[in-house]
Amino acid sequence: MKRTDIPNGTENAVEVRGLVKHFGETKALDGVDLDVRRGTVLGVLGPNGAGKTTLVRCLSTLLRPDAGTARVAGYDVLAQPRQLRRVIGLTGQYASVDEKLSGRENLYMIGRLLDLSRKDARRRADEMLERFSLTEAAKRPAGQYSGGMRRRLDLAASMIGHPAVLYLDEPTTGLDPRTRNEVWAEVQRMVTEGSTVLLTTQYMEEAEQLAHELTVVDRGRVIAEGRVDELKAKVGGRTLQVRPAEPADLARMVDAIGRAGLDGIAGATADPAEGVVNVPIVSDEQLTAVVALLSSHGITLAGISTHLPSLDEVFLAVTGQKTSAAPAAQANTDAFQEVAA
Ligand SMILES: Nc1ncnc2c1ncn2[C@@H]1O[C@H](COP(=O)(O)OP(=O)(O)OP(=O)(O)O)[C@@H](O)[C@H]1O
Ligand SMILES: [Mg+2]
């Protein structure tokens, strides 16, 4: 059986219900439910310490959950760990390669562990080295690799056996932009070839690029979930951008909107560099009202558009934390409840 085959034809490649894992007082997972539809990428976002790695480790049978259930490719993590391990691939947050072996030997060994024939293991190792731009370094001991090279080797190792379900725990942390793009392309390729991916990340751009759906976790709980556009819509608010035909009208527009006191519109700001005025809005009625107002002032518009908040703004709204590495002082639970409601 190819490892990408999911035996009992389930819709979800990963099904997690009420998963709990405590470390002493720390509730690393505090009742997590999530599904990853087969053939898709689920992005798991969350600030440091949210429980992402703990989730991945539970789903890889590396940690035993205290309560709840999880099925991966139809196998139960507690009852069928051996079968489960055969169909998953894992790239941990911390690269785990044998430093004494060369890159090629590392990959060959993993291929053999996965029951590939010698010939297939060699072929697949070379293929993966090529895909992750490691061919030149293939014969050097992995211990001499740079951080980015190790990570690429680790990713190659996790993909070698065409796993049905691939866990990628912050796969591109510390990679340069070009290499990050390379990894994204390989992840997409794995999905095209039939894998289902659970990806944890701190990079919103990565989530936007790769994930079909997102789950935001914080303090061991799911606090928001949905497609990228759904999450953006839930946070509420869009930015209306109006472009006057005459750039000289910018100040007049800001003034008019400020004075009009339109329902729910606090004001507007000019962006002279872009030649637009930005107006935060929450409804289509407000959009119409702004356009009508400007028209009544005799201002000719060259264009209007609306923009959803960025994923960074969504993350900030639901977790109260910025997406940068710097942790915020306190979680904003009010904002989260608005979204969860
Ligand atoms: N083996 C362990 N023993 C004790 N506490 C642990 C252990 N592993 C994780 N924790 C705690 O559980 C919580 C969740 O940790 P986890 O590593 O899952 O977070 P994370 O979301 O992966 O964070 P990061 O973004 O920093 O990787 C943290 O408070 C962490 O300190
Ligand atoms: Mg982690």
Neighbours of ion ligand 2 (CB under 5 A): 52-53, 93
Whether 54 lines ligand 1, by a CB cut-off of 6 Å, is yes
* Separation of CA 227 from chain center: 11
Percentage of the chain with pLDDT > 90? 63
How many separate domains does the chain show?
A: 2
| Residue 12, H or E segment | strand 12-23
Q: Which of 341, 333, 45, 317 is nearest to 169 (CA)?
A: 45
Last residue of a domain, one of 161, 193, 226: 226
Q: Which CATH number do you get for residue 286?
A: 3.30.70.100
Residues 197 and 300 in one domain: no
Cα of 132 to ligand 1 centre, how many Å? 29
23 lines ligand 1 (CB under 6 A): yes
pLDDT at res. 51: 96
What is the mean predicted confidence (pLDDT) over 120-125?
95
Asked whether residue 275 falls in the same domain as residue 195, the answer is no
Grade residue 319 by pLDDT with cuts at 50, 70 and 90: confident
Q: Cα(131) to centroid of ligand 2, in Å?
A: 26
Dist. CA 29–CA 334, nearest whole Å? 21
Residue 170 lies in a domain: yes
Name residues whose C-beta falls within 8 Å of residue 220's C-beta, 6 or more positions apart in sequence.
Answer: 21, 27, 28, 29, 30, 31, 32, 50, 51, 54
- Given the structure tokens 């059986």, which residue do they identify? 1
Instruction: Tell me the CA end-to-end span of the chain in Å, nearest whole number.
Output: 44
- Taking the CA of 59 as reference, the closest ligand is 1
94 CB near ligand 1 (under 6 Å):
no
Q: How far apart are CA 236 and CA 204, in angstroms?
A: 18
pLDDT digit string, tens, across residues 128-177 = 999 999 999 999 999 999 888 888 999 999 999 889 999 999 999 888 88
Beta carbon of 28 within 6 Å of any ligand 1 atom: yes
For residue 174, the one-letter residue type is G
Which ligand is nearest to the Cα of residue 202, counting in written order? 1
Which residue's CA lies nearest to atom 17 of ligand 1?
53
Query: How far is the C-alpha of 148 from the C-alpha of 151, rounded, in Å?
Result: 5
Least confident of 108-117, 128-137, 332-341: 332-341
Is 339 a residue whose pLDDT tops 60? Answer: no
Which listed ligand is nearest to 217 at the C-alpha?
A: 1
Structural domain boundaries, residue 73: 12-226
User: 20 and 108 share a domain?
Assistant: yes
Residue 230 — pLDDT band, cuts 50, 70, 90? confident
Mean pLDDT across the stretch 107-121?
91
Average pLDDT over residues 322-335: 39
DSSP codes, 58-125: HHTTSS--SEEEEEETTEETTT-HHHHHHTEEEE-SS----SSSBHHHHHHHHHHHTT--HHHHHHHH
Q: Are residues 242 and 149 in the same domain?
A: no
Whether 173 and 244 share a structural domain: no
Q: Is the pLDDT of residue 341 over 60?
A: no
Q: 327 in ligand 1 pocket by Cβ < 6 Å?
A: no
Q: Taking 80 as the threshold, does the pLDDT of residue 92 lie above it?
A: no
Task: Give the model's confidence band at 209: pLDDT under 50 very low, under 70 low, under 90 confident, else very high.
Answer: very high
Q: pLDDT digit string (tens) for 262-287?
A: 888 888 999 999 999 999 888 889 99
